Structure 1
């Protein structure tokens, strides 16, 4: 096979799921919007996902598929998150190296997007796997049901439908990725924010066994919720329907999502309104307990940004992506109070989850490694939530990066971070020491001002009061 493809050149694979036709450019092949399950509409809207049948004709995979997100989490988000119309929201994209005859089979990275389990898009250009393909990794991005459709608790509706979607997607990968040059026995599941929390949930679940072999949680946490039972009653009153599958099923997904986000903004208390729930067959026990019982043979790489939500914005809510202009006209006292609230959220939801996960997996033979991303974006006033993503994906030229990171983000930092993540996916053990969830745990630090782009250190996740310079409070 020629290792370089003309821009837009059709490329075809013959997989167990059927014939799939994508597009190639240079050293990369892209197969986008491939349905792995039947469209969750009608009677299937609040049902467990149903495996997609074999395609009867060649499937055109030249463009991104429909997204579960109909309404973005905020008017302006750090990560560009396009909404794509359509019913086939349970789809995935595959970005693979063009040449497979001499280097494959390749390890596989399965990426789960964030968005507070309410929004987000696998079609984001920040999740383009071209750098992974360049480095001999098949990158798969997955769409799953969100909000009420994915995580509400209702009578006669299976719980954790969004997680069930992800499990079925992993089954599809196991059965089909070899046709794209991937190795089904070397699958790393990874995600950021809500996606990182989903990774921890899958790792802690008995249902995750055998479906993946390594795990990466980027700014994830133990975000298990209650299924929003009280919240659903409020939502039903707002929509004028009973809080049941029949009531919500009579409303469009867009109308329900818009009402959820409106109610969430009105509450403004930072609590997760919908997310994975504990007590069913997938998550029989809380995630922390599950991590101690399951996935002990799966290596885990986990970390957080230094600031997450305390980088200058006045809004502190789980998975809040920052508007780079927000908060500019607030008075200093309001900024200080908001910063303190953001620091509490950063520490309790995100950073504290890292030593907690390491402690739960202290006896895991596979090991846990921690990192902290410390590079302060000049556009956002700190090492904010989501700004590490273009570095890990090595896509500093992607749309929206300049707005979030400023005009000159350090390319050497992206090279180093991407190399660490790609090496982990390839099966290499990280070069720094394992963590055990104790004071003084080792960790890798990325981008701390005044230090080398990458430095090994200890104690960055110890529970101490952290202070930030006043300069970081400007947006």
Structure 2
């Protein structure tokens, strides 16, 4: 019986995918060699050509990581696919695609969790709307973001850059236009998108960038290396490539988990991008100012409610709030502005922390390039666990599908599909044209607020975010 599956020939060989309802899926295509053995803690190496036809109907192995813990485990699913070939991409394309716009999705997960194989990252809705959708895996945690003697910095970012370069090189074979590539990411994925756009070999060609709740900073090697040194101390080994390479990836994951269990309820540390002359010469917030491509950027109204559960909020009294604000280096003026905006106690701390990490940097980027930046605020209030418009709730709406298990764990079963259709349509419009359908930020700080009834309005609560100037 003849093989009726769709075949695509790349520069490295032929892959066989699957087609359903006019959408072709090619999963687990390697863009680089497995980063283990002699290639561990080294820059990504382009994948070697293969003979014959490679099956591309299953997701590739996941990067070493631990599942979400505690309350987060109830909200976020985890997928574990064994194997070393973790540097892979997935392509979903309309069967009739020809010079179609392309979007590249970079998942989040605090630089140490996540995979493109999660159900909530299914890009069928984009392919349905004529977009070639690409998602990717990259090195996480100690494998991807350690600060070690003798190791290139920001290896996870270098993986993302290698995957985007693969897209530029190969996407024509899937019906995509390499001159119309938009990068899209959420949380740590948004940070990686911002950093990738800052790389000349990426930024000079990118058509647009979508940054959802992405931190835009990069730490000094000393500060970014704190978690690496903590792991080394925990394991009793030197902070060098050879010593880390002698420890299995899973043991490094376990050590990080053991350390994290003792940390503060407010996130103040962890893996981060590190300033580096070759990969991150300056913070993405600064570099985005010079990016020629349009940027769609935004945050959620209640980002902090993912990190601070109602129980944690209730348990944080005034003394603890003051101590944590000091630990997180929240200016007194920011706390005062948050209280003046109606937030109280731990909620004021959470809002100030959200603004420091996410909304203030996004606003500064928009102010620096007001005519090329489109700003949104996601305000729909989820009924799940008091999340409201917490960090990550908007992902399902941007993907235009709120009825899957990953979406329902964050939004419940009654989330408005009409809002998802509206937000997804704006994302598709931006990917196609560089314009989501409302005015750029400009001098009036124009912001699209997505809610049960959406509106375009001057930025809300500017006094809180401006306290971080």
Which TM class, normalised by the smaller chain length?
0.7 to 0.9
Aligned residue among 250, 257, 277 for 2:253: 257
Task: Name the counterpart of 1:283.
Answer: 280
Could you tell me how far apart the structure 2 residues matched to 1:265 and 1:358 are? 36
Question: Is contact 1:220-1:353 (8 Å) kept?
Answer: no
Task: Name the counterpart of 2:270.
Answer: 273
Q: 1:207 to 1:183 in 2, by over 3 A?
A: closer
Could you tell me how far apart the structure 2 residues matched to 1:434 and 1:369 are? 5
Task: Name the counterpart of 2:365.
Answer: 357
Q: 1:332 to 1:249 in 2, by over 3 A?
A: closer
Task: Name the counterpart of 1:323.
Answer: none
Question: Is contact 1:147-1:257 (8 Å) kept?
Answer: yes
Residues 1:80 and 2:84 aligned together:
no
1:385-417, Cα deviation, whole Å (9 max, x unpaired): 111111110122222322321121101001000
Question: Is contact 2:426-2:436 (8 Å) kept?
Answer: yes
Q: Give TM-score, length-normalised by structure 2.
A: 0.87
Question: Is contact 1:18-1:56 (8 Å) kept?
Answer: yes
Could you tell me how far apart the structure 2 residues matched to 1:400 and 1:290 are? 33
Task: Name the counterpart of 2:166.
Answer: 172
Aligned residue among 406, 428, 432 for 2:412: 406
Task: Name the counterpart of 2:231.
Answer: 235
DSSP-derived class of the 1:186 partner = strand
Give me the CA root mean square deviation: 2.4
Task: Name the counterpart of 1:473.
Answer: none
Task: Name the counterpart of 2:8.
Answer: 13
Q: Give TM-score, length-normalised by structure 1.
A: 0.86
Task: Name the counterpart of 1:462.
Answer: 462
Q: 1:28 to 1:349 in 2, by over 3 A?
A: same
Task: Name the counterpart of 1:341.
Answer: 349
Question: Is contact 1:91-1:143 (8 Å) kept?
Answer: yes
Aligned residue among 369, 373, 382 for 1:368: 373
Aligned residue among 103, 110, 115 for 1:109: 103
Task: Name the counterpart of 2:341.
Answer: none
Unaligned runs of 5+ in 1: 1-7, 316-325, 467-475
C-alpha displacement of 1:38:
0.3
Could you tell me how far apart the structure 2 residues matched to 1:58 and 1:169 are? 21
C-alpha displacement of 1:207:
4.1
C-alpha displacement of 1:465:
8.5
Question: Is contact 1:223-1:272 (8 Å) kept?
Answer: no
C-alpha displacement of 1:9:
6.5
C-alpha displacement of 1:121:
1.3
Task: Name the counterpart of 2:334.
Answer: none
Higher share of residues assigned helix:
2
Could you tell me how far apart the structure 2 residues matched to 1:94 and 1:45 are? 26
C-alpha displacement of 1:254:
1.7
1:168-203, Cα deviation, whole Å (9 max, x unpaired): 101110111111111111000010000011111122
Task: Name the counterpart of 1:321.
Answer: none
Residues 1:307 and 2:302 aligned together:
yes
Q: Count the aligned residue pairs.
A: 434
Q: After alignment, is 126-135 or 201-210 more displaced?
A: 201-210
Could you tell me how far apart the structure 1 residues matched to 2:29 and 2:117 are? 12
Residues 1:327 and 2:311 aligned together:
yes
Could you tell me how far apart the structure 2 residues matched to 1:9 and 1:78 are? 39
